[in-house]
């Protein structure tokens, strides 16, 4: 049961990573082609910092968008995600997450899952549909509900940072990170899924970026920097692509962890799309805190 509990904690982090990668993680640079809408590059001739301030403002004001992408976190996980998010008043939305490799994919298989799950995000937490594998262990309940406050308490300094990031996640946060890098450069015009976009690039010191963009106190920041250092993360390279309406259409980030490369590519489209999400039925949901208590009790009984 101890191993199962570890898997549950790991999976909650994985679902969180699917959301936070919308704003920050890592990823390679590459050109893309396909269907899209919009043309131009109104920020091409502007100063990079001034242009990105406009992009951040307009992207934030757009309030919602469809999102899809891929994320890899060393040997821990590789996943793809797609859905729609609204950030007009906290974060709400729904995403389909599929684990394609790493320890998380192995854990999902061991739990009897095909590696896919549905995640629903709310202002105070999120829920993940773990399917029949979980329902067999919980009397038919296949959703796990996670409270941001409980996860923050569980994760210490990193948990507090995750809570803050998840409750403020938006495509504009990726622009904010690039602005904080201090060395943003305009690369030029490129094609992103049929859209002519302006490419910007920069490198961020992860610990310093967190300090600039968070409201954590000095003690929490010191602990978080230590945890980042222990994970082997020092810098991230951020690249973004902006359309002619000054809206973010693509973001990639790349860094290095002790377990391997930290890497993410995200695409944004259909800004202003309507997002509607409902909490799963109470009778089909178990609180993460309650699940941990059950498994810890079973572990104690078996010892």
Cβ atoms within 10 Å, residue 151: 22
Read off the pTM. Answer: 0.80
Name the residue ranges covered by the structural domains of the chain: 2-302
Nearest C-alpha neighbor of 177 from the set 107, 67, 254, 77: 254
Contact between 206 and 229 (Cβ < 8 Å): no
pLDDT number for residue 189: 96
Model confidence band, residue 35 (pLDDT cutoffs 50, 70, 90): very low
Residue range 246-270, pLDDT digits in tens: 999 999 989 888 888 989 999 999 9
182: left (phi over 0), alpha (psi -120 to 50) or beta: left
Identify the CATH number of the domain defined by range 2-302. 2.50.20.20
Q: Is the pLDDT of residue 235 over 60?
A: yes
* Mode of pairing for the β-strands spanning 77-86 and 92-101: antiparallel
For 60, the token pair is 């934030």
Model confidence band, residue 11 (pLDDT cutoffs 50, 70, 90): low
Nearest C-alpha neighbor of 169 from the set 77, 65, 257: 65
Distance from C-alpha of 11 to C-alpha of 128, rounded to nearest angstrom = 9
- Distant-in-sequence, close-in-space partners of 224: CB < 8 Å, separation ≥ 6: 157, 158, 160, 161, 207, 210, 216
Q: Is the pLDDT of residue 43 over 90?
A: no
């Amino acid at each position: 049961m101890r191993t199962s509990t570890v898997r549950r904690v790991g999976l909650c982090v994985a679902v969180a990573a699917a959301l936070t990668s919308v704003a920050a993680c890592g990823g390679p640079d590459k050109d893309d082609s396909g269907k899209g809408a919009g043309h131009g590059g109104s920020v091409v001739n502007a100063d990079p910092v001034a242009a990105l301030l406009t992009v951040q403002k307009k992207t934030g004001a757009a309030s919602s968008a469809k999102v899809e992408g891929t994320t890899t976190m060393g040997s821990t996980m590789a996943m793809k995600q797609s859905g729609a998010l609204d950030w007009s008043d906290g974060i709400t939305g729904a995403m389909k997450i599929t684990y394609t490799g790493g320890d998380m994919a192995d854990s999902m298989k061991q739990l009897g899952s095909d590696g896919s799950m549905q995640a629903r995000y709310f202002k105070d937490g999120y829920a993940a549909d773990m399917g029949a594998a979980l329902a067999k262990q919980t009397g038919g309940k296949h959703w796990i509900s996670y409270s941001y406050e409980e996860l923050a308490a569980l994760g210490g300094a990193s948990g507090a940072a995750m809570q803050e990031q998840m409750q403020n996640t938006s495509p504009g946060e990726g622009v904010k990170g690039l602005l904080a890098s201090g060395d943003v450069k305009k690369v030029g015009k490129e094609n992103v899924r049929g859209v002519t976009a302006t490419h910007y690039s920069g490198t961020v010191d992860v610990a310093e970026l967190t300090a600039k963009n968070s409201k954590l106190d000095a003690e929490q920041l010191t602990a978080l920097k230590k945890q980042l250092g222990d994970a082997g993360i020092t810098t991230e390279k951020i690249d973004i692509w902006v359309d002619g309406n000054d809206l973010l259409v693509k973001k990639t980030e790349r860094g290095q962890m002790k377990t391997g490369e930290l890497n993410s590519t995200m695409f944004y489209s259909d800004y202003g799309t309507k997002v509607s999400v409902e909490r799963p039925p109470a009778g089909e949901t178990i609180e993460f805190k309650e699940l941990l208590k059950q498994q810890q009790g079973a572990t104690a009984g078996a010892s």
